[in-house]
Amino acid sequence: MQIGSVKLANQVISAPMAGVTDRAFRILARENGCGLVVTEMVSDLALIFANPKTLRMLDFRNEQSPLSVQIFGSDPETMGKAAAIVVERGANIVDINMGCPTPKIVKNGEGSA
């Protein structure tokens, strides 16, 4: 399977699950045959303002490629900047969250809003 120029070993892709798909989970998923692992969704603004907790979520040490990072936000300019940040930090794929129905996300015009 291939997404853009990124070739995957198989079609098994982890979902971006808040509070679940941390670094330890991603490493275990990869060791057990996952073709593509995805981070928890991260805020575009948290990336732009270099929020320490958010940056820890993007710790890709000892992880194999390919890796996808899911970002969320509502402003095209900040989303573009956030995408550049995650690519600079090692993401092979940038996934834009357009489906999260959580009220705290939707009330800001993000996710499924």
User: pLDDT exceeding 90 applies to what percent of the chain?
Assistant: 82
Residue 88 pLDDT class (50, 70, 90 cuts)? very high
Q: Is 34 a catalytic residue?
A: no
Look up the CATH number of domain 2-106. Answer: 3.20.20.70
Report the C-alpha gap between 94 and 45 in whole angstroms.
Answer: 15
Domain ranges of the chain: 2-106
* Runs of H (alpha helix) within 1-113: 23-31, 44-48, 52-57, 76-88, 103-106
C-alpha of 16 from chain center = 7
Give the pLDDT of residue 61: 86
Give this prediction's pTM. Answer: 0.90
Confidence at 102, pLDDT banded by 50, 70, 90: confident
Which entry of 42, 45, 100, 105 is annotated as an active-site residue? 100
Closest CA to 18 of 34, 42, 1, 35: 42
Distance CA 39, CA 44 (A): 14
Residue 29, pLDDT above cutoff 90: yes
